[in-house]
């Protein structure tokens, strides 16, 4: 049996910017050697991983005679990637390019003047610079685009021969082929709506045919040059096109393509008395979901290898901490991946990729001789990771953290525009709401006091109840962890106890902010006493949070946003504001 592929990613690497003025140094492949130093590669390899993924744009990395307008800086991208693959190999690490071919280009790109016939579906996008622009697909219904894809894939394999392979996403994400953001798209409220396709060349084609065609063309180009690369097709959002497990796509995949499926997506949990669908990564839910298992069974029938897409460090549930220490669920993910005979996993997206107890636990539980006794295995791992600890207390702590997350109000709207990542610095005033949105949870938006958009599917009372229960149970876990680590001083022990405490303080801030949001949504001056009680509790909470944020610069940093969603200065400012209000 071949070694399991364990793909990770540096927390120092920036995914790349989508801007109205694309420049080479805005792309991740341009900066790989500044990030993936020998020290960073050694750290990743020493943590149990044997591959890394890097975001790449095919039209930047290679140049072909088909469309010479593309790939102006291809030679330099190739040089830098080749340097990385050579250095990574010395550490036992393979480099994979994550890509979405053919990525749509700005509608003003010169290629559409030279080849107007290939212009496909137009989509509106907001760049990282805030400007809204139109991008246009290279329509894959045209033979010239098909030829380009195949030739570009072959050129990629020819020019960067030591890559481990590619990981392809073919739905949602950024606009790519004409169908990529059409079909059953999920809107901001977490509901599906049908977005019709407008490209006249693709409207009579099925999206599954287009997806399969893109994968086949890329595969054929690579295989014309390289027979050993791993070609991974990720099923992210294929349910836009047809019901899971998407037989019309999986059933037509080439037999040497590896299917990668989301481990938790489609799972069902009862939260606050209601059944909820896990339509995102989750550490609060162990998985695998029925949707994953159905895909796995279909892949087996089709003689396809399969991998899992996981998010091991943290998720949108709370992304401004190094890790969510739900180690029992990490154990169950690892054990199930091993039992299902998976070919490997991609363990992180472009955040949640710090090396912590979570990564150590995952690779430990993937090892041999791991039993089905979860409590026993958690105690054994605790003894290994925290020498001289009290393993029973550590096990209790990790179980309590998992129990606490059962009350998290999981939904797409809450995850994407909920306040948990930065509730500790959101404005609190004894006055009516200003109405300004608190912003998106994964980007560096300006922050207001209105979280209405996050409440689709939950009432504010349910969210308050959820975080009240979560915070109380989480604190029992923190207390157990502190007891278990009392006589086991180490860097690991210090970092993980601080991290667990910060998670708890952020959940408390969320509870307090939501309570005050409810008051301010129907504000009367006779609510001032109730406001003061909540504000006083938050003031005490922030005073406990502040020294930990000052001590460890990992707290508050959101790796996808690549910025601090809260920091010590902002916490100090809020403390001063609350002290003034309460004086």
The pLDDT of residue 69 is above 80? yes
The pLDDT of residue 7 is above 90? yes
Residue 400 vs residues 251, 308, 312, 396, 503: alpha-carbon distances, Å: 42, 26, 18, 6, 13
What does the pLDDT read at residue 28?
Answer: 96
Q: Cβ contacts of residue 520 below 8 Å, gap of 6+?
A: 429, 431, 432, 433, 449
In whole angstroms, give the CA distance from residue 76 to residue 29.
10
What does the pLDDT read at residue 316?
Answer: 97
The two three-digit tokens of residue 414, written as one number: 């809450």
Q: Are 57 and 99 in contact (CB under 8 A)?
A: yes
Residue from 272, 246, 271, 270 nearest 260 by CA: 246
Which domains occur in the chain, in start order? Answer: 5-102+142-371 (3.20.20.80), 391-582 (no CATH)
In whole angstroms, give the CA distance from residue 415 to residue 393.
31
Interval 354-398: pLDDT, tens: 999 999 999 999 998 999 999 999 999 999 999 999 999 999 999
Interval 506-543: pLDDT, tens: 999 999 999 999 999 999 999 999 999 999 999 999 99
3-state DSSP assignment of residue 306: strand
Reported as a pLDDT band with limits 50, 70 and 90, residue 22 is confident
Rounded to the nearest 10°, the torsion over CA 228, 229, 235, 238 is -100
385-405 b/e with 16+ CB inside 10 Å = b?
bbeebbbebbbbbbbbbbbbb
Interval 281-316: pLDDT, tens: 999 999 999 999 999 999 999 999 999 999 999 999
Interval 218-274: pLDDT, tens: 999 999 999 999 999 999 999 999 999 999 999 999 999 999 999 999 999 999 998
Residue 283 vs residues 336, 404, 455: alpha-carbon distances, Å: 14, 12, 21
What does the pLDDT read at residue 16?
Answer: 84
What value does the mean pLDDT take over residues 414-430?
Answer: 97
Cα angle 403, 408, 411; round to 5: 140
Q: Is the bond preceding 333 in cis, omega lying within 30 degrees of 0?
A: no
What does the pLDDT read at residue 195?
Answer: 86
Residue from 323, 307, 317 nearest 282 by CA: 317
Half-sphere exposure of 11 (CA within 13 A, CB side): 22
Element spanning 121, H or E: strand 119-126
In the chain, how many H helices and how many E strands?
18, 17
Cβ atoms < 10 Å from Cβ of 291: 26
Supply the DSSP string of 475-498, one letter for each residue: HHHHHHHHHHHTT--SHHHHHHHH
Give the torsion sign (CA, 14, 16, 22, 24): positive
The two three-digit tokens of residue 533, written as one number: 């009680």
Interval 448-458: pLDDT, tens: 999 999 998 89
In whole angstroms, give the CA distance from residue 555 to residue 571.
12
Q: Are 518 and 510 in contact (CB under 8 A)?
A: no
Residue from 548, 496, 507 nearest 354 by CA: 496
Reported as a pLDDT band with limits 50, 70 and 90, residue 99 is very high
In whole angstroms, give the CA distance from residue 548 to residue 144.
57
The pLDDT of residue 96 is above 80? yes
- Measured distance between the N- and C-terminal CA atoms of the chain, rounded to whole angstroms: 68
Cβ atoms < 10 Å from Cβ of 316: 23
Reported as a pLDDT band with limits 50, 70 and 90, residue 194 is confident
Reported as a pLDDT band with limits 50, 70 and 90, residue 189 is low
Reported as a pLDDT band with limits 50, 70 and 90, residue 188 is low
Reported as a pLDDT band with limits 50, 70 and 90, residue 130 is low
In whole angstroms, give the CA distance from residue 344 to residue 363.
12
In whole angstroms, give the CA distance from residue 375 to residue 391.
10
In whole angstroms, give the CA distance from residue 48 to residue 67.
41
The pLDDT of residue 128 is above 70? no
């Amino acid at each position: 049996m071949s070694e399991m592929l364990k793909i990770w990613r540096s927390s120092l690497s920036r995914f790349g910017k989508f801007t109205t003025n694309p420049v080479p140094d805005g792309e991740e492949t341009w900066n790989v050697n500044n990030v993936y130093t020998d020290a960073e590669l050694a750290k990743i390899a020493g943590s149990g991983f044997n591959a890394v993924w890097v975001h790449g744009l095919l039209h930047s990395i290679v140049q072909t005679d088909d469309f010479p307008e593309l790939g102006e800086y291809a030679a330099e991208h190739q040089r830098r990637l080749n340097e990385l693959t050579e250095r990574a190999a010395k550490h036992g690490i393979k480099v994979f390019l994550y890509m979405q071919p053919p990525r749509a280009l700005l509608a003003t790109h010169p290629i559409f003047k030279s080849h107007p016939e290939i212009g496909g579906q137009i989509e509106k996008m907001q760049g990282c610079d805030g400007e809204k622009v139109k991008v246009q697909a290279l329509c894959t219904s045209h033979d010239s685009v098909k030829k380009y894809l195949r030739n570009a894939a072959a050129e990629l394999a020819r020019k960067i021969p030591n890559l481990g392979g590619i990981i392809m996403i073919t739905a949602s994400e950024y606009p790519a082929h004409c169908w990529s953001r059409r079909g059953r798209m999920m809107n901001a409220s977490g509901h599906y709506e049908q977005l019709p396709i407008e490209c006249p060349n693709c409207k009579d084609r099925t999206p599954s045919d287009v997806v399969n065609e893109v994968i086949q063309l890329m595969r054929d180009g690579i295989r014309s040059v390289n027979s050993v690369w791993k070609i991974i097709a990720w099923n992210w959002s294929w349910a836009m096109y047809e019901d899971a497990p998407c037989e019309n796509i999986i059933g037509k995949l080439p037999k040497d393509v590896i299917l990668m499926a989301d481990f938790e997506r489609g799972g069902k949990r009862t939260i606050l008395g209601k059944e909820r669908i896990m339509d995102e990564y989750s550490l609060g839910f162990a998985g695998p979901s029925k949707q994953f298992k159905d895909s796995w069974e279909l892949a087996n029938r089709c003689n396809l290898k399969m991998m899992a897409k996981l998010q091991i460090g943290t998720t949108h549930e709370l992304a401004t901490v190094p890790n969510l220490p739900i180690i029992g669920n990490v154990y169950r993910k690892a054990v199930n991946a091993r039992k299902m005979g998976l070919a490997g996993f991609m363990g992180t997206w472009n955040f949640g990729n710090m090396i912590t107890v979570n990564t150590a636990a995952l690779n430990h539980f993937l090892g041999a001789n791991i039993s089905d006794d979860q409590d026993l295995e958690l105690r054994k791992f605790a003894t290994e990771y925290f020498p001289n600890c009290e393993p029973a207390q550590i096990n209790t702590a990790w179980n309590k953290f998992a129990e606490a997350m059962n009350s998290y109000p999981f939904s797409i709207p809450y995850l994407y525009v909920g306040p948990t990542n930065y509730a500790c610095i959101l404005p609190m005033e004894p006055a009516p709401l200003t109405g300004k949105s608190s912003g998106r949870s994964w980007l560096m938006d300006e922050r207001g006091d209105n979280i209405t958009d996050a409440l689709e599917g939950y009432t504010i009372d349910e969210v308050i109840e959820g975080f009240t229960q979560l915070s109380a149970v989480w604190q029992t876990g923190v207390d157990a962890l502190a007891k278990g680590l009392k006589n086991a001083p180490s860097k690991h022990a210090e970092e993980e106890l601080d991290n667990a405490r910060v998670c708890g303080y952020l959940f408390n801030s969320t509870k307090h902010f939501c309570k005050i949001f409810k008051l301010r949504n129907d504000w009367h001056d006779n609510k001032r006493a109730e406001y003061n009680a909540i504000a006083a509790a938050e003031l005490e909470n922030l005073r406990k949070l502040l020294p930990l944020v000052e001590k460890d610069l990992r707290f508050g940093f959101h790796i996808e946003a690549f910025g601090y969603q809260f920091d010590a200065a902002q916490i100090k400012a809020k403390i001063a504001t609350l002290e003034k209000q309460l004086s």
